[in-house]
Each structure stands twice: as C-alpha cells, then as structure tokens.
Amino acid sequence: MGIHRIGLVVPSSNVTVETEMPALLNRHADARFSFHSSRMRMQSVSPEQLRAMNAQRERCILELGDAGVDAILYACLVALMSVGPGEHQRVEGLIAEQLATGGSEAVIRSSAGALVEALRAVHAERIVLVTPYMRSLAEQVVAYIEAEGIQVSDWRALEVADNAEVGCIPGDRVMDAARSLDRTGADALVISACVQMPSLDLVQAAEDEFGLPVLSAATAGVYSLLRALDLPVDIPGAGGLLRADAPAPALP
C-alpha cells in the first residue's frame, strides 16, 4: 500500500489542522498518508494580516512541490472568503498553474472550496454555522457561501481575533453557540467554519444531538482531498459526510 503525501499550506499560528487532518485520515481503512506543511506568517485574523499572508502563497507551494506531495490543501478558509465570491476558484487555478509549471502533478484544493463542495455533497440549500471570527469577517464568510447559492439562515461569530486563541476555544463554547442557532428548516450545520477552531470531537456528537448533517472545515477538507485522490470516503466517527462511501448495513 503506497503512502499518499498531503501538503498543507497553513497560517503560521495554526496548530489545529495539523492535528485534526492526520487524526481523520489515519482512520481510513484502505489508504495511508503522510503530512507536510508550509507556513504563511499570520497571528491576528485581520484583513491586513490575511492579505499579507496570502502574498506568501507562491513560496509555500514551491516548498511543498519540492516534497513531491500528491495533494495540497490551502488551509485557511477565511483568507480566501474574505477576498470576495469565487476566490477559491481563482486561487486554486493559480496554484494549479504554478504546480504544472514546476512539473508537479499534485491536485490542489482549498478549505474555502472544500466547504462549498461538501455542502453540495450533502444537498444543503439552507444552513446554519458557527465561526470564531470577528463579526465583520464572519459576515464576509456568510456572504461568500450565499454567493455560491447556499442560504445561511442563522450564524454565530465568537469574535476571537487572536489566531492562537482560536485554537484553544473550548468545545463547550462551540456547542453552546450551535445550540443557540435557529436550526428551523436547516439542511446542515457547519459547526466550525475555520480549520483552526477545534471541531474533531464535536462533529459526530452534534450530528447525533441535532439530527442533521454536521460539517466542519476539517471534515470538508478531508472529504475534498479523498475525492480529489479518488479514494473511498469512509471514515468513522466524524459525521455522515465522511461515510459517503461506507457499505450499506446488512439486512437482518
């Protein structure tokens, strides 16, 4: 069994995605993975620092190309969504061109694009979500998702600006925010619209509690990477999205 090399482009202050992505993908029964990161300097989740961080993208892609990765995830959702609608398509296209020029055949996905892809995979037309961002950035995330034709009927912004602090937001606080949402008519809940806000222990529990599909930026990223690598989507304990290809239960 070969090893699929996953490249992660992450803000320098992020720690969660490099914890949650391996934890999820290493549950896969039929594939093995290794993980390789390149970092863009960013400490505060502000428009200015997000712009400065995005300017470091090309260096990160060069570094990961040197590692011979099979797939790359641009792992900062708000960095792209804050620019404006469709930005994930533009950036993924630019990265694909850069990789091809360098002779790399790696596939590219972004957390922003992966969330949209995953919401469409669960046929979500109306959602609710929880973000860690300041309200102004959260509004841009909502507008970005709605520009993709998915209605956001209710949302919460936890308003944590320091990115290191985002990685320490307690699960109870996230769940309380989720419980406070008006979920009437919602097709799905995004419990963490940020790869830095921890969600791995919450997704399945929230899905069991609320009785609707629950996604996070992390589970959406895993879904998108597996689809891009043409691997079965069958990872237990992380919500229905990641059991898309699970065998049907045997009839009694």
What residues are annotated to the active site? 76, 194
Token pair 């209605």 is found at: 151
Q: Are 107 and 71 in contact (CB under 8 A)?
A: yes
Question: What's the angle, vertex CA 69, arms to CA 66 and CA 71, rounded to 5?
Answer: 135
Amino acid at 65: G
Q: Rounded CA gap, 204 and 88, in Å? A: 27
Asked if 199 and 192 count as a contact pair (C-beta separation under 8 A), the reply is: yes
Say which residue the tokens 């300041």 belong to.
134
**Are the beta carbons of 230 and 107 closer than 8 angstroms?**
no
The terminus-to-terminus CA distance of the chain in angstroms comes to 34
Are 79 and 9 spatial neighbours (Cβ–Cβ below 8 Å)? no
How deeply is 55 buried, as exposed, middle or buried, from its count of CB atoms within 10 A (0-12, 13-18, 19+)?
exposed
